[in-house]
Amino acid sequence: MSDAPAPRTRRGPLAKLADFFDDRTGYRAVVHEALYERVPGGARWRYVWGSTLVFAFVTQMITGLVLWSSYSASAQTAWESVYFIQHEMAGGWLVRGIHHVMAQAMVVLLALHLMQVVIDGAYRAPREVNFWLGLILMKLVLGMALTGYLLPWDQKGYWATRVATNLAGLVPLIGPSLQQLVVGGPDYGHHTLTRFFALHAGFLPGTLIAFLVVHLTLFRKHGLCAKQPITKPDCMFWPDQVLKDVVAMLAVLAVVLGVILLPAVRAMVEGRPIVPGELGAELGAPADPSQPYAAARPEWYFLFLFQFLKVFEGWGADGEFLGAIVVPGVLLGMMFLMPLVGRWKLGHRFNVLFTVAILVGAGLLTAMALREDYAAAWADREAYADVEQLIEETGNDPEKIAATLGNDEARIAEFQAKAHELEEIRRSEAFFAAVKQAEAEAHRAVELAGRPERIPPGGALELIRTDPLSQGPILFAQHCSSCHAHVDPAAPEAAELMAASSAANLSRFGSAAWARGLLDPELVAGPAYFGNTAHAEGDMVSYVTNDMTDRDSWSEEQIEAVAVALAAEAAVVDDEPLDPAIVEQGRALMADEERCGSCHHAGDNETENGYAPDLAGWAGREWLIGIITDPNHERFYPETNDRMPSFGVAEEGGVPALSATQIGLLADWLRGEWYRGE
Amino acid sequence: MDDPAPVPPPADARRSFLAKLMAMVGGGLATLTPVAAGVWMTLDPLRRKSSAASFLPITKVESVPDDGLPRQFPVIADRTDAWTGFEAEPIGAVYLRREQGSDTIEAFSATCPHAGCFIELDKRDRCFRCPCHNSAFTLDGGIVSPSPSPRTMDALECEVRDGRVAVKWENYYSGIAEKVARP
Ligand code: FES
């Protein structure tokens, strides 16, 4: 403290106020202590990493608090609130983007800081404790990264967290309980989120701040560990080193903002509109435990651990235990021992090499993981055509393959190597497809959430589970596709798919184009219509191929009118414009008891249902629901149903194969009736 | 401000020992109480049991074609998540498989025994594949080595009654060689 009071003459009111506070708090001494630290050998760029980390952490606290104020941790609100932040709130995308990218920057800065400390030997006495504190801080930061990944409750975070928590279950003895504690129960849900959130935003940063304070105090106590030999004169922390630190912070910030804004710049250059919601951090489709997510990958800085799990393939349970628990544990343990190892003469060299080895190893594993996932991006697919063909022809039977290759060992070995590469490429292709699908699902979820009706109380998952566009293909694949094709007849794979099907192609069912094909003598007995069914020999096929080709009774114009009238009954979404006059003419022909009406009930004719399907409301929503529910109903095929199950009819004591909601979703999907964004 | 003149410390060492002890015990008790209450609550998830193994109806026998190729079916059940109750929700998926001409059905959980990803069916190569760490399994759930997975796919008990397939739905610990059901 000051010995003699400074002469207090002619001081302005501001200085007086400062004096008042200094007398009572002594803040000047504290500020002085904080800023006027000697930097032996002068300010250097290599000392900036610690400060940039503090800066990154402060940025995370600020953005995190703001995100917190708009986030809601529960299974029905987490994705929804993050959606709202990302896509609707002013600046939401920017705050979330900064938080997301800065987290990754922090991992990079951690690695740099660690490297600098190890290379400069700053872990040696008397700084051992501070080095250990630093390692703890690193673990805390990684813990926050891990817990933060789950919080949006999207597919990506959900599946990555499942893997991570399952690995936690491998810890000896306490593993299963530990896992259950972290997950908040036996299943993933509300309490997984609330716990991860409490860890991410409360426990971990709170602990981090406590350790950081000690870390910085000790750093001050020991002073900066100057790079030897000292060649330049000393300087003061303020302002010389602070200036360098600030420049480094700005550089970090510039990189972070650059990553966030780059897509916007690209969009601008390419003349596309900029959608702020698509900048910064992405948001996948809402978490759904019943929907596979083949694009599951951890954040890039955990990819090396992820790849590590593959390295131990063939080791069985030991491999996973080694890869997930033992090896990382041993490596971390060795890092804790560095200050002790560093006491020996060669110890420091060893430590440097060890740290470099870890970082290079992690880098290599990351590269391996990326190379596997993106193999298809640079593979020359043509080069594998012969291998692929051989596998297909022989059904991948090793003996047959060997025989085809003339039992020549060299050729077989070459084949095997190529087959292995091919498998990797195929896996990578599957990954690409999965990523693309995940993007489409995410896009759809956001589109649905943005409807004017907003998200129902059941959450976004309910929205997706009642969306015909999302559910139709899944339900169709599960229940319909073993008989029916659903493929654009013009698509290259259409012929093959239709030939393999045993019922009509339902793509654009009910459209004028579909109806024209039905009445086309060339097509009606083909695989797209009745060709692969018992109806191939039926009255309809014979009527279309015989009676309707007789130009005296059916003119081409009349046939067209019937097709158009059928389409008018169906009124599917996005059909071609139908001329009302022609529809009228077609309806009359349809109802005519000398023509279609001789078998079909249509319009107001007297023909009773039972012999042929009802044409009133044909392929409309209600009609489709009816036929999927029960094709044996008298409106459809009471006598002549060919193998189609009654999906909506329960047997005694059972439940129907499809619920009414599911049947409705299928009908809507077939008819193209779903929400379309702007 | 001027520092006050130094005051000599009070002398009674015995009393001061007692005071120290009481301060420590009292302070300890005061902080331990919220800590203990907090730990008690934090451990609550250990008391929770999953919606326990029970036979759940999956589908009809005819819906599983007898071509030896597995088909994926959702597992639908009522589910509670802490305070929320769901009626008839998809809670997971199983693969069902029937050999040609056979009436018995094999059922496998779609959850990877390695670390819990969702196993997919590769129709072209007629095998199962896990998209996460490249574990592969044969159509009857066997391991294709080398594989990161420590065990075969988890077969589930399967019952066929009156033409309907029911499966005993259970979750297993992942990453270990034995198949142990979670409580
Ligand atoms: S989770 Fe399936 S291979 Fe790892």
3-state secondary structure A313-359: CCCHHHHHHHHHHHHHHHHHHHHHHHHHHCCCCCHHHHHHHHHHHHH
Residue B173 touches chain A, beta carbons under 8 Å: yes
Closest Cβ–Cβ partner in B48, B51, B175 for A169: B175
Q: Can you tell me the mean pLDDT for B68-92?
A: 88
What's the confidence (pLDDT) of residue A5?
Answer: 53
What's the confidence (pLDDT) of residue A220?
Answer: 87
Contact A654, B162 (CB under 8 A): yes
Phi, psi of A548 (to 5 degrees): -80, -10
Q: Given an 8 Å threshold on Cβ–Cβ distance, is B91 in contact with A289?
A: yes
Q: Are residues B116 and B152 in the same domain?
A: yes
Q: Is residue B31 part of a domain?
A: yes
Q: Given an 8 Å threshold on Cβ–Cβ distance, is B50 in contact with A75?
A: no
Secondary structure element (H or E) that encloses residue B177, with its range: none
Contact A303, A369 (CB under 8 A): yes
What's the confidence (pLDDT) of residue B91?
Answer: 87
Contact A212, A137 (CB under 8 A): yes
Cα A384 to the chain's mean position, in Å? Answer: 30
Residue B68 touches chain A, beta carbons under 8 Å: no
SS3 A132: helix
Q: Can you tell me the mean pLDDT for A296-311?
A: 87
CATH number (domain holding residue B94): 2.102.10.10
Candidates B149, B152, B176: which one to mutate for ligand 1, based on the most atoms within 8 Å of Cβ?
B149
Q: Can you tell me the mean pLDDT for B87-95?
A: 87
Distance CA B51, CA B47 (A): 13
For chain B, the domain total comes to 2
The 10s digit of each residue's pLDDT in A585-620 is 999 999 998 899 989 999 888 888 888 999 999 999
Q: Given an 8 Å threshold on Cβ–Cβ distance, is B148 in contact with A296?
A: no
Q: Can you tell me the mean pLDDT for A426-453?
A: 93
Interface test with A, best of B64, B66, B117 (most A CBs within 10 A): B117
Q: Are residues B23 and B96 in the same domain?
A: no
Residue B123 touches chain A, beta carbons under 8 Å: no
Pick the residue whose CA is nearest to atom 1 on ligand 1.
Answer: B115
What's the confidence (pLDDT) of residue A118?
Answer: 93
Closest Cβ–Cβ partner in A185, A320, A653 for B175: A320
Q: Is the pLDDT of residue A634 over 60?
A: yes
Closest Cβ–Cβ partner in A24, A163, A479 for B115: A163
Residue with tokens 């005519």: A592
Phi, psi of B78 (to 5 degrees): -70, 145
Q: Count of CB atoms within 10 A of residue B79's CB?
A: 19
3 state SS for A413-432: HHHHHHHHHHHHHHHHHHHH
Domain range enclosing B111: 55-168
Q: In CATH, what is the architecture of A24-296?
A: Up-down Bundle (1.20)
The 10s digit of each residue's pLDDT in A252-294 is 999 999 999 999 999 999 999 999 999 999 999 999 988 888 8
Q: Is the pLDDT of residue A316 over 90?
A: no
Distance CA A266, CA A264 (A): 5
Cα A299 to the chain's mean position, in Å? Answer: 11
Q: Count of CB atoms within 10 A of residue A413's CB?
A: 11
Q: Is residue B182 part of a domain?
A: no
Residue A34 in tokens = 């904080």
What is the CA(A310)–ligand 1 centre distance, in A? Answer: 9
Q: Are residues B146 and B74 in the same domain?
A: yes
For A186, name the nearest residue in chain B, comparing CA atoms only.
B50
8-state DSSP, A537: G
Q: Positive or negative, the Cα torsion across A299, A107, A162, A169?
A: positive
- Return the closest-CA partner of residue B109 out of B73, B79, B135, B148: B73
Q: Is residue B10 part of a domain?
A: no
Q: Are residues B60 and B21 in the same domain?
A: no
SS3 B119: coil
Pick the residue whose CA is nearest to atom 3 on ligand 1.
Answer: B133
What's the confidence (pLDDT) of residue A144?
Answer: 96
What's the confidence (pLDDT) of residue A2?
Answer: 45
Chain A with chain B: Cβ pairs closer than 8 A: 151
The 10s digit of each residue's pLDDT in B117-160 is 999 998 878 899 998 888 999 999 999 878 888 899 999 999 98
What's the confidence (pLDDT) of residue A1?
Answer: 42
Q: Are residues B65 and B24 in the same domain?
A: no
Q: Is residue B132 part of a domain?
A: yes
What is the CA(B116)–ligand 1 centre distance, in A? Answer: 6
Q: How far is B25 from chain A (nearest CA, A)?
A: 25
| Residue ranges per structural domain of chain A | 24-296, 379-454, 466-670
Q: Given an 8 Å threshold on Cβ–Cβ distance, is B175 in contact with A166?
A: yes
Residue A523 in tokens = 């097509």
Q: Are residues B80 and B162 in the same domain?
A: yes
Residue B57 touches chain A, beta carbons under 8 Å: yes
Q: Is residue B4 part of a domain?
A: no
What's the confidence (pLDDT) of residue B29?
Answer: 94
Q: Is the pLDDT of residue A221 over 70?
A: yes
Q: Is residue B174 part of a domain?
A: no
What's the count of helices (H) and strands (E) in chain B, helices before strands?
1, 11
Q: How far is B143 from chain A (nearest CA, A)?
A: 10
